[in-house]
Structure 1
């Protein structure tokens, strides 16, 4: 596969501050700290977990993000410890209509929703981030698009959920969950794809367009901004060196 998932991107009012929150909560490290970008990644450079990238943005958050992170837990005690740590770091509980559920819904200091899950067997080897979850009107269609875009195969089907995972069977899941009305407007979280240096740019763009992507204007160098079939924005990075070093 010539293109792969590179990271989850947060548009942030204060990138360094919110990156620090996530680094502390996940036990990860800041691997890049610049005024225009802060990266947070698992401390093991060989970890299959996707990094988090924080970019400055002046666009205000509107409604619930269509993409959020689910954090894994090893036990109910570990779940409670994670919730307590998140609250101490500046998170707060939020009600998104979840009702009485075994997981805990919180928001980070800039209001980005995330869940701390109860222990689940399917996430036992996922790492700190159990899943990257996307709300969608058509979970099968959108999962098929992202499988084609990223090379991650579809490995889980349910009535309201379709899940992708790296072909290695390691790292976080990418899950698409049916929602009758995903939040309108631009989401503050998105995905970055990264292309290997030898990839033909025109051919790769044609491939993504054939799968259902639409190019849009980009304000960043060495990347192309697109939307998926449900208008979720994402970026395709064109790199002159190994994608994993950025």
Structure 2
């Protein structure tokens, strides 16, 4: 399996912090990132990292200077007192001989994390992470994204429209434990109100809908008595509504 820069960085961090003594002071503040518990790390820009902890908490880590090689360095690590990264100084991402100071740490929601993770994917291409469920899905018929910011339409069980877009139910066993995803649209799609059938389609030809260019919700409007059927090439006419973002939600 090809590992991404995100895997190298997170693996190196786990190896470094594992050697620290088991006795440990509590987190200095509620917003602090636990470097010992990082499950997924993505470099969204030269100064921005997105981190998903093993307990499901999500963080944005901003650096004081450009550190473009951090995500590609197999020996990269995080230096912080007792592994707590809070953005209060004396915290660094080390890449080779370079120390990149941490400027700020903030806990973020699933939507913001998805946006950063998608930006990382666009920067680095193929993505693999430490999440074992995701790795299995990636090997199965070309799943092309992370369960952190993508869903596989193959495992869709149901959907509803709530005025903000779509809430899609999927198989949790195939989606990293997530049961529901919010699918936000690029603009209003009133056709969803009368839809009897929808399809989620990837514009990149992969088995993942992530908010990439060309990702759409294909809608089949409800037929009413006396209305004709619009057909194109013998098939029912479908209306495509562009997808802006995808992220897991609690229902």
Q: TM bucket by the smaller chain?
A: under 0.3
- Which has the bigger relative contact order, CA under 8 A and spacing at least 6? 1
TM-score by length of 1: 0.26
Larger radius of gyration: 2
